[in-house]
Structure 1
Amino acid sequence: MSPKTALVIRATGSQGKATTEHLLKAGWTVHALVRDPSDIRALNLKIMGAELHKGEINDIPSVESAIAGCSAVFLNQMPSLTDIEEETRQAGELLDAAKKAGVNFIVHATTLPLNDPNHAEKVGKSVVATAVLGKGKVEQLVKASGIPFTIIRPGYFMTNFIAPLVGYMFPTIRSGVFLSSFDPTTVLPLVAPNDIGALAVAAFEDPRRFNGQALALAGENLGLHDIATALSAVAGKDLKVDFRSKEDTAKESATNPIIAGQLVSVGLEGLWDAEEVKTWGIPLTTFREFLEKNKDAVMA
């Protein structure tokens, strides 16, 4: 087993790609678990230098093959909106495979709402409750696994404001209206996937420092009008901020996970400490920097 070989789960996703890039830059060998090795996103990882391994986290034989020879794992999972046990089943099997393979460190990416000790009460019976609580259950599995670990709890993803995700998250932005169900005073703790990758690799490189910690990560807190101003400046197009009525929000949030997720995101800005994050020594990405770097996706 190489001391600097890592398996990256969901390697073509935004977090997986960022972590793969940072690992390769730090001299690691990366086993990238990908659903389709012929997909352009997977091929880009191969061009960077990653070794592609076809499979998914719910296909344990493919995980066992990909994890062979690895000393570390970056674990990030797609949340389930319907089955609270789905993530724990998948993670449990992966952790068993990690133990058998001799993995000695895991970085697990979850979600910032778990930094609130009252998160279960806050999400209540929301349609996104299963997604949030499921990640909490996996955190407990990781902590109990006996494998040294670091947990990263990222804030609100900046990628939600650019193509392709913006079409699902805020579809009216395409017509110049930033319509949401946030409270007008909402401040969002924005995070760039690149920063998640940077922190993950910092933990892999210095496990003694980061072992056993749950780290709340964001790049900056921004209000909705500031977000719209930044988008307008980069896109060269005025963006109007608007809000759904409380009646429409209450009605649609019962079945729409996007709107329910916006409600759950209110109040997150106080769950991370910017001064603490600075002590970790990773460069943080501002929202404006992120938009400029991804200007093509903004324009799309």
Structure 2
Amino acid sequence: MPQKTALVIRATGAQGRGVVKHLVRTGWNVHAFVSDPSSDRALTLKNYGPGISLYKGALSDPPSIEAAIKGCNAVFLNQMPTRGDDTETREAQAVLDAAKATGVQYIVHSTTLPLNDPDIRTKLDGSVAAPAVFGKGDVEELVRACGIPWTIIRPGYFMTNLVSPLVDLIFPEFREGKFVSCWEPDTILALVDPDDIGAFAVAAFNDPDKFAGRILTCVSELVTVKDVVSQISTATGKDIDVRYLTKEEAAKEAARNPMMEGQKLSKGLHELVDMEEVKGYGIPLTSFKDFLEKNKDALVPNTDGKKVEIRLPSFNE
């Protein structure tokens, strides 16, 4: 049987790492598309197993995409959200053009859960978060029209937002034992372990007859905010001082911390999820409790109250 090879865009990101890991486990070779092959993040990918090749490139540089995609049967496409222009669609089109030119047989594209709402464009019109969601929708249309068999994955709120290093950015006071959010205690979060996104993507690559042409909701567990905080408190052995902001307080906080918009966008997403359908895909899901155990070295609050250096992924990574 010929060796299968997949190009993984943004291979050092949370989703990309999950995809690389599951591809290697099921016998694929991987072309990992990274901004800096000499970085620790890129070199760590090699620890997942054999058959991983690092390709330096940027989505803004079509020749680097063309070099990385040669010899690939499949592509995992995921991108940073749009910056309020057409960058995301232009760069996605470059990937799709290269895929068609080189004979790629399958595309898995990861977008965002709010697109499960057919009225999302009306609801978010004028919102600060709108470009990030609408850009994903525009790329979905490109993928569906590209002529290559595809699967689209719409993941929920990343569990990795609740551990280091991203928690320091999204919840700046958390390391000091304070959890401040615009949620309420009974707000239900549609949480996803990015590693599960990898499992979904590779399931589609390995069984195209089952998954081609389907849009998959990828949510690992529905958990209330109260339970999220309680589970983190239990896992860390630390009490957490919780503060739920009023609408007015949240608006002021958003001016200081733009990541607050992501919290707002995550409210109500559970209503777009049919967990029985998700479980029906037959792909194992990671509970939040198991995620915390798996990532115990990244949990906060810690004992020293010391912030870590936050490195945001670049748009081209």
Specify the TM-score bucket, using the shorter chain as the normaliser. Answer: over 0.9
The one-letter code of the counterpart of 2:273 is W
Aligned counterparts of 1:284 and 1:82: Cα–Cα separation in 2: 34
C-alpha contact (below 8 Å) 1:127/1:255 kept by paired residues: no
3-state SS of paired residue (1:185): coil
The one-letter code of the counterpart of 1:189 is A
The one-letter code of the counterpart of 1:33 is F
C-alpha contact (below 8 Å) 1:228/1:240 kept by paired residues: no
| Per-residue CA distance 1:39-76 (angstroms, 9 max, x = gap) | 11111112333100011222111110000000100000
The one-letter code of the counterpart of 1:77 is Q
Aligned counterparts of 2:257 and 2:236: Cα–Cα separation in 1: 28
C-alpha contact (below 8 Å) 1:151/1:215 kept by paired residues: yes
User: Counterparts in 2 of 1:10-21, with a 5 A limit?
Assistant: 10-21=10-21
- Which 5+ residue runs of structure 1 have no aligned equivalent? none
Deviation at 1:96, TM superposition (A): 0.3
Deviation at 1:127, TM superposition (A): 1.2
CA RMSD of aligned residues (A): 1.4
User: Which residue of 1 is the match for residue 278 of structure 2?
Assistant: 277
User: Which residue of 1 is the match for residue 63 of structure 2?
Assistant: 61
User: Which residue of 2 is the match for residue 238 of structure 1?
Assistant: 239
The one-letter code of the counterpart of 1:17 is R
User: Which residue of 2 is the match for residue 263 of structure 1?
Assistant: 264
Give aligned-pair identity as a percent. Answer: 56
Q: 1:79 aligns with which of 78, 81, 94?
A: 81
| Per-residue CA distance 1:240-284 (angstroms, 9 max, x = gap) | 221122212234446853112211111100212111111222110
3-state SS of paired residue (2:299): helix
Q: Which gives a bigger RCO, structure 1 or 2 (Cα 8 Å, sep 6+)?
A: 2
**TM-score between the two structures when normalised by the length of structure 1:** 0.96
3-state SS of paired residue (2:216): strand
User: Which residue of 2 is the match for residue 8 of structure 1?
Assistant: 8
C-alpha contact (below 8 Å) 1:203/1:211 kept by paired residues: yes
The one-letter code of the counterpart of 1:119 is I
Indicate whether 1:31 and 2:26 are aligned. Answer: no
Deviation at 1:143, TM superposition (A): 0.3
Aligned counterparts of 2:39 and 2:132: Cα–Cα separation in 1: 27
3-state SS of paired residue (1:257): coil
**Structure 1 residue ranges (4+ consecutive) displaced by more than 3 angstroms after TM superposition:** 251-257
User: Which residue of 1 is the match for residue 229 of structure 2?
Assistant: 228
Deviation at 1:124, TM superposition (A): 2.1
C-alpha contact (below 8 Å) 2:184/2:225 kept by paired residues: no
3-state SS of paired residue (1:233): helix
**TM-score between the two structures when normalised by the length of structure 2:** 0.91
C-alpha contact (below 8 Å) 1:22/1:201 kept by paired residues: yes
C-alpha contact (below 8 Å) 1:69/1:101 kept by paired residues: yes
User: Which residue of 2 is the match for residue 140 of structure 1?
Assistant: 141
Aligned counterparts of 2:87 and 2:33: Cα–Cα separation in 1: 19
The one-letter code of the counterpart of 1:108 is H
The one-letter code of the counterpart of 1:16 is G
User: Which residue of 2 is the match for residue 159 of structure 1?
Assistant: 160
Aligned counterparts of 1:10 and 1:198: Cα–Cα separation in 2: 16
Aligned counterparts of 1:47 and 1:227: Cα–Cα separation in 2: 31
C-alpha contact (below 8 Å) 2:33/2:57 kept by paired residues: yes
- Which 5+ residue runs of structure 2 have no aligned equivalent? 303-317
